[in-house]
Structure 1
Amino acid sequence: MRIFVALPVQGEAAEELTSWAKEHRTKLSFRKWTHPRDYHITLQFLGEWPEARLEELHAALRSIRFNPIKLALNGGGAFGPAQAPRVLWAALAGEVEALKELHREVVQATKTLGFVPEERRYAAHITLARSFTGNNGGALSEIMATMPVEAAWEADRFVLMRTHMNASPMYEVIGEYGLGQND
């Protein structure tokens, strides 16, 4: 199984991202747009994992104690060159330091199972689209200026997701872990 740990994007924030993407997808030529049910913030990509060892991973993730995190949309950006970006993403505001701490907790909990943390700095974001195919990259900055801001939600759980390549939606929740368990 190809798996990762994530925070689902919920409520008004998910609705605003869906509406924005629907309005702008014809103006921006990306090969793949994220299905609205797949909106999430990756906490740690884990990669391939045997189903026979899934309970070990569930136990490690259940050990994490954390309080709910208040987050909000805060515009967006793109990874890659301006004329041909690889990824279009939504940015976050709110309790971003608490989100980074949760990321560190997930990395620490999974390290004992042999998962290796990424070397690059953690950059929390919500992927909206991938693989720019058009020649209208110059319009990207204008369109990104219209990305949703302030739509908020409270992340009260994180999830373990399984990837189903070439499916839409692409991700399946195979574990859910409540935040605020340390109350």
Structure 2
Amino acid sequence: MPRLFTAIEVANDVGHQLNKLFPRTEQIPVQGVKHITVRFIGNVTEAEASAIELELISVNVKPFNLMLTGCQFFKSRGAKSIFVTSVIPTGALTDLHQLISRVLLHRGIKSEERTYVPHITLARISRPSDALMDLLLEKGKSVSTELSVTGFVLYCAEHEPAPIYTKRREYIFTTLNG
């Protein structure tokens, strides 16, 4: 049963910048595919996944830019902390999120209950020490880069033993008049 989500793929140059700033270590298991989740979908049947894949073709906004700035920690279930870089939300990103949510609602997939907080996951760290958290947050202050968004991706996620994200389909925005 596919576990799906839509996301904005982070350009390789931006991903490399982030990886250089936060290199992988035993304490910092850097995430592989850098992305900004737009809308989590969840587990669906293969037939539902195929229908969603086709209906998402209708989602289109003008290409836009996003600003990445600073870092923070999110608490996760259990003892893990999620280290992320922040994404400044824009009207265009909100529009994209809402358009995708409407398509999913049409398919019977309810809206998420938690507030949408755009970010890029850099690492999932088990029980980070205060010193490690302080170091990462200090280094994270230097994150400030712009990202061009020209489309989004439908990903299939597997989480055992580590997250693996497979691109199911890519959607490129077309130029809109007006």
> Shared fold (TM-score greater than 0.5)?
yes
Aligned to 1:140: 133
Aligned to 2:31: 34
Which AA in structure 1 matches 2:151? R
**Secondary structure of 1:5's match?**
strand
Any unmatched runs of 5+ in structure 2? none
* Post-superposition CA distance 1:127-170 (Å, at most 9, x none): 11124234x22441342121242322211010100112336661
Any unmatched runs of 5+ in structure 1? none
**Secondary structure of 1:145's match?**
helix
Aligned to 1:49: 44
Change (3 A) 1:48 1:169: closer
* Post-superposition CA distance 1:74-98 (Å, at most 9, x none): 01101129xx6621101124x6231
Aligned to 1:182: 176
**Secondary structure of 1:33's match?**
coil
Aligned to 2:93: 99
CA distance in 1, matches of 2:17, 2:161: 23
Aligned to 1:77: 72
Matched, 1:165 2:173: no
Measured on the aligned residues, the alpha-carbon RMSD in Å equals 2.3
**Secondary structure of 2:109's match?**
coil
CA distance in 2, matches of 1:88, 1:105: 28
Change (3 A) 1:175 1:181: farther
Which AA in structure 1 matches 2:82? V
Aligned to 1:12: 13
CA contact (8 A) 1:11 1:153 kept: no
Q: Identity percentage over the alignment?
A: 25
* Post-superposition CA distance 1:11-48 (Å, at most 9, x none): 3321111112216x45xx35x5311xx11111111111
CA contact (8 A) 2:80 2:127 kept: no
Q: How does the TM-score come out when normalised to structure 1?
A: 0.83
- Alignment partner of 1:68 out of 47, 55, 63: 63
**Secondary structure of 2:22's match?**
helix
CA contact (8 A) 1:3 1:162 kept: yes
**Residue 181 of structure 1, CA deviation:** 4.7
- How many pairs were matched up? 173
CA contact (8 A) 1:89 1:127 kept: yes
CA distance in 1, matches of 2:111, 2:175: 24
CA contact (8 A) 1:85 1:137 kept: no
Q: How does the TM-score come out when normalised to structure 2?
A: 0.85
**Residue 179 of structure 1, CA deviation:** 1.6
CA distance in 1, matches of 2:48, 2:80: 37
